[in-house]
Amino acid sequence: MILDLENPINRIYFEETNYERIKSSFTVLGLDFAQRAYVFLDEIQLVKNLPSVVKYFIDHYKVKFFLTGSASFYLKNLFAESLAGRKYIFELFPLTFSEFLSFKDSPLKLPGDPREISRPIYESISPLYDEYVRFGGFPGVVLKSTASEKERALDEIFTSFFQLEIIQLGNFRKNEIVRDLMLLLAQRIGSMLDIQKISKELRITRPTLYDYLAFLEGTFYLKMIRPFSTQRNSEIRKMPKVYLCDSGLAGRLARLEEGRLFENSIFQNLRQKGEIGFYRRKNGVEIDFILNKEDGYEVKTTPQPRDMNLLSRLAHELRLKTFRIVSLNYTELENAIYGFMI
């Protein structure tokens, strides 16, 4: 049985305080409790008592539920105790570039070795990858045919997120402040967050700002990555960098240069591979991403030999296992890879 809880009529079934009446409704809808029953529910954050209902049917009728919703903050906290040990949470990320090609029905096969990528091969991949970086990996955006349709789809995603999760779920006193923060952060992709400066700019306290950031991260709008350090205490003190969940959304909300959109796109692909940090010295020398504390990635639109030399020196000082320059444009630089290979 499949129910979309965004439809108010479907939410009525769960308003019964006697859960056996809900069972009767499910039976009328075609669910057979005489055999193993499967129930698929979408937008579950719209039904407040759902964890109790789910637990009841699991305990009494061994129903298996597949629950989906856009509000991870709600899902992780509301189901934390009620279904402990009996639930699996899957986080769905935007499409990778290889998945993007599949959605586009592209016949391209991405080489696994950068040495196999000649300039003609690069030129055949580049237009599609540029589209991927510019408009991101949301499936509903990827499947649109024109740039204007993609832009409208991104606008709808942001509007839907703000309406459903900020206004309805967040229950903040000043939604316009949260909106301003979301737009401000989009302009600061890849930058270190100065909490004191942002709190003054928005005229809110630092504890309030931390609450807003935690909510936006918990609902997948953004991700804060922490600095890499061999000394844990110094790692905690340093400011994090911020990235949005999708480069297309970031580019739609702020006028970002190509390199920053590219960096956000690399982030959203690397985050699917493990824990991400970054390294930066006081003089500004840095490694953009360190994956699982052992693999360094420096992102450049057009890398130069000096970039590789600097990365090599830093990687050896930090005792990283591997290090790569990630290039947007065609390059013959040794040990460089392309963004579409991440």
Same domain for 309 and 223: yes
Same domain for 57 and 154: no
In a domain, 316, yes or no: yes
Q: What is the DSSP letter of 172?
A: -
Domain range for 182 is 97-341
Same domain for 281 and 252: yes
144 — phi, psi (to 5°)? Answer: -75, 150
Measured from the Cβ of residue 1, the count of other Cβ atoms closer than 10 Å reads: 14
In a domain, 291, yes or no: yes
Per the prediction, the chain carries an average pLDDT of 90
126 — phi, psi (to 5°)? Answer: -55, -45
Helices (H), 222-273: 232-237, 247-253, 258-270
Q: What is the pLDDT along the chain (342 residues), one digit of tens a residue?
A: 999 998 999 999 999 999 999 999 999 999 999 999 999 999 888 888 888 899 999 999 999 999 887 666 666 666 655 666 677 777 889 999 999 999 999 999 999 899 999 999 999 999 999 999 999 999 999 999 999 999 999 999 999 888 877 877 776 778 899 999 999 999 999 999 999 999 999 999 999 999 999 989 988 899 999 998 766 545 445 789 999 999 999 999 999 999 999 999 999 999 999 999 999 988 888 999 999 999 999 999 999 999 999 999 999 999 999 999 999 999 999 889 999 999
Radius of gyration of the chain (CA): 23
Q: What is the model's pLDDT at position 84? A: 66
**Two tokens at 286?**
């840095």
pLDDT digits (tens, 9 = 90+) for 29-70: 999 999 999 999 998 888 888 888 999 999 999 999 998 876
Residue 17, classed as helix, strand or coil, is coil
Task: For 77-96, give one letter per residue: b (16+ CB within 10 A) or e.
Answer: ebbeeebeeeeeeeeeebbb
In a domain, 83, yes or no: no
pLDDT digits (tens, 9 = 90+) for 135-165: 999 999 999 999 999 999 999 999 988 887 7
In a domain, 90, yes or no: no
Same domain for 164 and 46: no
Same domain for 132 and 244: yes
Same domain for 174 and 50: no
Same domain for 147 and 187: yes
Same domain for 167 and 199: yes
Nearest 5 degrees, angle CA 259-CA 263-CA 267?
170
Same domain for 153 and 16: no
Q: What is the count of structural domains for the chain? A: 2
In a domain, 89, yes or no: no
In a domain, 32, yes or no: yes
Same domain for 243 and 144: yes
**Two tokens at 145?**
């045919």
Domain limit, last residue, from 47, 78, 109: 78
Strands 241-244 and 336-338 come out as unpaired
In a domain, 276, yes or no: yes
Domain limit, last residue, from 18, 51, 78: 78
Domain limit, last residue, from 45, 78, 111: 78
For residue 191, give Cα distances in angstroms to 219, 249, 288, 300: 20, 17, 10, 15
In a domain, 87, yes or no: no
Asked if 94 and 269 count as a contact pair (C-beta separation under 8 A), the reply is no
Max alpha carbon distance in the chain (Å)? Answer: 71
For residue 90, give Cα distances in angstroms to 68, 77, 170, 229: 9, 15, 22, 29
Q: 104: domain CATH number? A: 1.10.10.10
Which residues on adjacent β-strands are paired with residue 118?
Answer: none
Q: What is the model's pLDDT at position 334? A: 85
pTM: 0.85
For residue 310, give Cα distances in angstroms to 176, 181, 263, 285: 43, 34, 18, 9
Same domain for 274 and 187: yes
Same domain for 320 and 278: yes
